[in-house]
Structure 1
Amino acid sequence: MSKTYGFTTTILHNDRQKAVEFGSLHRPVHTSVAFGYQDARQLASVFQGKEPGFRYGRQGNPTVAALEDKVSKMEDGIATLCFATGMGAIGALFQGLLRAGDHIVSSSFLFGNTNSLWQTVAAQGCSVSFVDATNADNVAAALQPNTRLVFVETIANPRTQVADLERIGALCRERGVLYVVDNTMTSPYLFRPKAVGAGLVINSLTKSIGGHGIALGGSLTDTGLYDWSAFPNIAEAYKKNAPKQWGMAQLRAKGLRDFGASLGPEAAHHIAVGAETLALRMERTSANALALARMLEADPRVAAVHYPGLASHPQHGIASSLFKAYGSLMSFELKDGIDCFDYLNRLKLAIPASNLGDTRTLVIPVAHTIFYEMGPERRASMGIAESLIRVSVGIEDTADLLDDFQSALDA
């Protein structure tokens, strides 16, 4: 588009900026795995990266490419790669960019599967330092000469700690370290990590961007801010074009061609359609979450509420200065003597389930499910109480949602 439009308008009309077959308002679902060329020389040219085109479905597909373009627009990036899941996108960092002997600095407040992945990475030759990323000084103290990347989440799942995003970005820029930000819990509508200097941005497309719990997907967006010529692990084979393209060229080859964590076209289509209403859903779920957090915080039967929108949250100031709203993720702890399972079973609308960013409100007892495997000592170090309940707030009518959680307490 030659004119600059708002977030939703841009995403809604993005497909039509290039020719679409038969005037379709959506990009069609291209299910073909292989792509034929009339000229064999052109096929070779595409494989050698001399001209654009599709080689094989594992490395790219027209339907997936259309979604990648959407996500790049959302994040104000120069290129995006889509993967089968959000974890596939994070795994591509290790598969595509790191070597034995490299060092990673990661926030200790992480999604459970990301924490598990970093443990695996550490066992395979890359050292990982876990730090309290709510203070950039802790990140600075952990940096080493062989540190290749710093990894943080915007809002940590499930305890909602907010990383010291701006100061960490300045630190990484000063030291020349790749800054990777997982934006899943805020979404590109509420926050763009490029604004704080992130070189790569992760999104689990399964969550708020897809928004309806019907398709798995993940993405990795290059913001254009990082100088790949300074990254020591880029192989010569991926240095054919301008340095700004080196990182994504290697990630596409190593993360998709070699590792095979590829997003299917049907899932890409579902996510692309869901993305059109991202802003509308985030406004509604953020408003619902704030209302629910305030109600629970005022209830004497609730021991603690963790939500960045509350003035009592330790990083409320950071969240208020950076985010458009505070998102749909919150968690809370019940007072001693109230069984979290009995409480959850009394809810009528909120559904016990493990996803996030759905249109429906989902609840889960964290210590007994998604964080059970890591054990009580590691949970305690992350501030996860045994009674902690994570809530992914949906788009239900606010009064109905508040009544559901209140009634379950009253019962």
Structure 2
Amino acid sequence: MKFGTKAIHAGQEPDPSTGAIMTPIFQTSTYWQKSPGDNKGFEYSRGTNPTRKALEDCLAALENAKYGLAFSSGMGATDAVMKLLAPGDEVITGNDLYGGSYRIFTKIFSNYGIKFHFIDMTDSENVQKYVNDQTKLIWIETPTNPTMQIVDIEAVSKIAKQNNILLAVDNTFASPYLQNPIDLGADIVMHSVTKYLGGHSDVVMGALMLNDDELYKRLWFIYNACGATPGPMDSFLVLRGLKTLHLRMKAHCENGRQIAEFLKTHPKVEKFTGMISITLKGADLQETYRIASSFKSLINHPVSMTHGSIPKSERDKVGVVDNLLRLSVGVEDVEDLLEDLKQALS
């Protein structure tokens, strides 16, 4: 089954009670049982819900995985993976990392005796230098947020497998339309579903996709026991959003290409990366705020927003500087996006 067909149909069947083509919103907390244990797999909606199960099966199919688990946020999904670890374990991860991931690693899980190594992962040989007997997880974000560094998933996967280390990949920025980490050797794929997968800025959600049966059992236990699971309405909205994922990603890519070509020669842009992030030539923090406030389309100032929890000294090392702005290139007519850029940078 090709990607677009999976996005529309995977995990979903007509409702047997009504024939409804769209998966119903099963807005229920509990389920009737003919007799104790006769529950058709559904007992309590914190752990299992038919709408969410359809979504999880669709998400798994998009990442060429056997299992999917949906969470109430991307951080909820990340939290579940970290709970596979124990005091004394070590994690190798990138030095250019989403601020929320950095915050949960350093402010939450480091307090429980887990050690994190934040390193340059663009050279896989550098990863090997930090592997030791206590290394239990390698956490990759690629492309990174917001500077769009690329990590060789397949090369790092070989290191992980040689040393019996779990490899998890945050695939949010590429989406399964452009990259499938499990095919490249990852054990777990994480998504902030809030972004490309949901696609309509109306849902906050996260997800994990994986193949291993025992690992799935461990993560499902955490998922059910800790309860960071989404409700049926959010699950329905993402199922709806996924039906246009392949169409939206084509438009994002084409619009992004044209905007990159425009920015390449703009006198006020010092450099840019592919999400797209730009650094403003000669702009101080106040001027950066002014330009950011001039945009009509969606823009992010990482230093004061997504990466505000990362110390300035660490941000500066990887280029997340005060005059960096991240553009979220949408699927509007590209001429309108270009006009917005021109007026904001004028």
TM-score range, shorter chain: over 0.9
Structure 2 gap ranges (5+): none
Residue identity over aligned pairs, in percent, reads 29
Is 1:407 the equivalent of 2:343?
yes
Is 1:13 the equivalent of 2:21?
no
Is 1:253 the equivalent of 2:221?
yes
Match of 2:245 in 1: 278
2:140 match: secondary structure: strand
2:79 match: secondary structure: helix
Change (3 A) 1:178 1:23: same
- Give the counterpart of 1:305 among 258, 266, 272: 272
Change (3 A) 1:41 1:57: closer
RCO greater where, 1 or 2, for CA within 8 Å and sep 6 or more? 2
Match of 1:234 in 2: none
**Distance in 1 of aligned mates of 2:37 and 2:323:** 63
Residues 9-158 of structure 1: matches in 2 within 5 Å? Answer: 9-17=5-13, 19-42=15-38, 53-95=41-83, 97-119=84-106, 120-158=108-146
**Distance in 1 of aligned mates of 2:12 and 2:135:** 42
**Distance in 1 of aligned mates of 2:186 and 2:171:** 10
> Residue 337 of structure 1: CA displacement?
4.2
Query: Counterpart amino acid of 2:26?
Result: H
Match of 1:343 in 2: 291
**Distance in 2 of aligned mates of 1:139 and 1:71:** 29
Residues 387-398 of structure 1: matches in 2 within 5 Å? Answer: 387-398=323-334
Is 1:189 the equivalent of 2:177?
yes
> Residue 41 of structure 1: CA displacement?
4.4
**Distance in 1 of aligned mates of 2:283 and 2:119:** 33
2:276 match: secondary structure: strand
TM-score (ref. length: structure 2): 0.95
Is 1:166 the equivalent of 2:154?
yes
> Residue 141 of structure 1: CA displacement?
0.6
Query: Counterpart amino acid of 1:252?
Result: W
The CA RMSD over aligned residues, in Å, is 1.5
Change (3 A) 1:343 1:364: same
**Distance in 1 of aligned mates of 2:46 and 2:97:** 29
Match of 2:231 in 1: 264
Change (3 A) 1:207 1:258: same
> Residue 174 of structure 1: CA displacement?
2.1
Residues 211-222 of structure 1: matches in 2 within 5 Å? Answer: 211-222=199-210
> Residue 31 of structure 1: CA displacement?
1.2
**Distance in 2 of aligned mates of 1:121 and 1:108:** 17
Contact kept, 8 Å, 1:15 with 1:27, in 2: the verdict is no
